[in-house]
Amino acid sequence: MPRAQIELANMSEWVKPAVLFSEAAIQERIREIGRQITADFDGREIAMVGILKGTVVFMADLIRAVELPLTCDFLKVETTKDQRIDISFSPETDFRGRDVLLLQDVVDTGVTMNFIAGHIQEDWKPRSLRIAALIDREEQRKVDCAVDYACFKVNQDGFVVGYGLDSEEKYRGVPYLGTLDKRKT
């Protein structure tokens, strides 16, 4: 049984997400973004840094779509109940003077991404810092936050899951991006 059927069969007690972007549409868009990143960095090595956990699937596919030398690292970012942002990272890579591509699953208000980008600029001192997002919810911005590479712009209501994105740790393995009506989950 294909992986998608297994995942969906195992969620009999879950609400099936409504398809927002199919697996094929996601793969095509990632290939397009990969070509754009390859052209923009023009032969330079990239330090690709994914924010856990939602970027894992996106990053795995994007790595294969970018035709440049690259390194991979991850950050773990948590926003506490008192709205404090904690970043966990023990870099084995020196990022000073490097081109850093920061990957996020969803950029919405921009608050967390701005904090992370500021932290990276100040502490890592990269040559350049660009941001790639699987989903850009630009209409929800509370602060300025430039997303350099957005696979999809989503401005409709609904909680997006699948393709690495979760709701209470469920749905990460769904091979497409779908929406949930949170009142039913």
Strand locations in 1-91, DSSP E?
18-21, 46-52, 70-79, 85-88
pTM of the model: 0.86
What is the DSSP pairing of strand 46-52 with strand 70-79? Answer: parallel
Please state the domain extents for the chain: 23-170
Give the pLDDT confidence score for residue 2 in this predicted structure.
Answer: 59
Q: How far is it, in rounded angstroms, from Cα 61 to Cα 11?
A: 24
pLDDT at 49: 94
Q: What is the pLDDT of residue 184?
A: 52
Tokens 């754009």, residue? 36
Q: What is the pLDDT of residue 146?
A: 92
- The pLDDT averaged over each successive group of 10 residues in the chain (185 residues) is 55 80 98 98 95 95 97 84 69 86 95 91 95 95 94 88 94 95 58
> Which residues participate in catalysis according to the annotation?
108
* CA gap 34, 140 in Å, rounded: 26
- Domain covering 23-170, topology: Rossmann fold (3.40.50)
CA separation for the pair 91, 124 (Å, rounded): 10
